[in-house]
Amino acid sequence: MSITKETSTVIIKLFNGVLYKNDQPKLWLALEKSFAIIGDYLKPLGVEVIFDEAEGYAYLQNLESEEDFPKLLRQRMLSYKVSLLLVLLRKRLTQLDMQSDESRAIVAKEEMVEMFELFLNESFNEVKQVKEIESVVKKVVDLGFLKKLQNSENYEIKRVIKSFVDAQWMDEFDKRLAEYEAKA
Q: What is the pTM of this model?
A: 0.76
Task: Tell me if 82 sits within 8 A of 72, measured CB to CB.
Answer: no
- Do 97 and 176 lie in a common domain? yes
- Do 47 and 96 lie in a common domain? no
- Do 52 and 84 lie in a common domain? no
- Do 56 and 87 lie in a common domain? no
In a domain, 144, yes or no: yes
CA torsion through residues 85, 90, 95, 100, sign? positive
- Do 160 and 105 lie in a common domain? yes
Domains identified in the chain, total number: 2
In a domain, 106, yes or no: yes
Please give the Cα distance from 3 to 118 (Å, whole number): 50
In a domain, 48, yes or no: yes
Tell me what pLDDT residue 184 has: 53
Task: Tell me if 83 sits within 8 A of 164, measured CB to CB.
Answer: no
Tell me what pLDDT residue 170 has: 74
- Do 118 and 156 lie in a common domain? yes
Residues, the chain, total?
184
Task: Tell me if 58 sits within 8 A of 49, measured CB to CB.
Answer: yes
- Do 42 and 110 lie in a common domain? no
pLDDT in tens, 2-54: 788 999 999 999 998 899 998 899 999 999 999 999 999 999 988 999 999 98
Average of pLDDT values for 178-182? 67
- Do 101 and 176 lie in a common domain? yes
CA torsion through residues 112, 113, 115, 120, sign? positive
- CATH code assigned at 107: 1.10.10.2260
pLDDT in tens, 103-135: 788 999 888 888 877 777 666 677 777 888 889
Parent domain of 159: 80-183
Please give the Cα distance from 106 to 96 (Å, whole number): 9
- Do 104 and 149 lie in a common domain? yes
